[in-house]
Amino acid sequence: MTSLLIWVLAFAVLLAVMIKSWEKGLGCVLDGLLPSVLRSDDDRWIWCPALAVLGATFIVFPVDMLMTLLVIGVIALVACKLGCWVMGKVH
């Protein structure tokens, strides 16, 4: 129960900070990084909660989050290498 309370508190704080800083920096950074397909009219209400969930989870369960990112990175690396190998065989 304590970890849930800490997670909710961290989520609320991160969400408030991200929404306040959207116009000053966070929105500009994401506009530069995201392709036009992933942008919408009001990205603030999509990306701020998503990033707040990731941040709160990282605060409460850092080892789990790092292991998840490591597994996702290994899967992405294998997929890229496999894709390059298949594309080389196609040509």
Among all chains, which residue has been given the structure tokens 């506009």?
A: 31
Q: Are 43 and 28 in contact (CB under 8 A)?
A: no
Rounded to whole angstroms, the Cα distance separating 11 from 52 reads 5
What is the mean pLDDT, run by run of 10 residues, along the chain of 91 residues? 90 93 81 78 83 91 90 95 90 69
Supply the pLDDT for residue 65. Answer: 86
Centroid of chain to Cα 72: 12
Contact yes or no for 44/19 (Cβ under 8 A) = yes
Separation CA 82–CA 91 (nearest Å)? 15
Residue extents of the structural domains in the chain: 1-60, 62-91
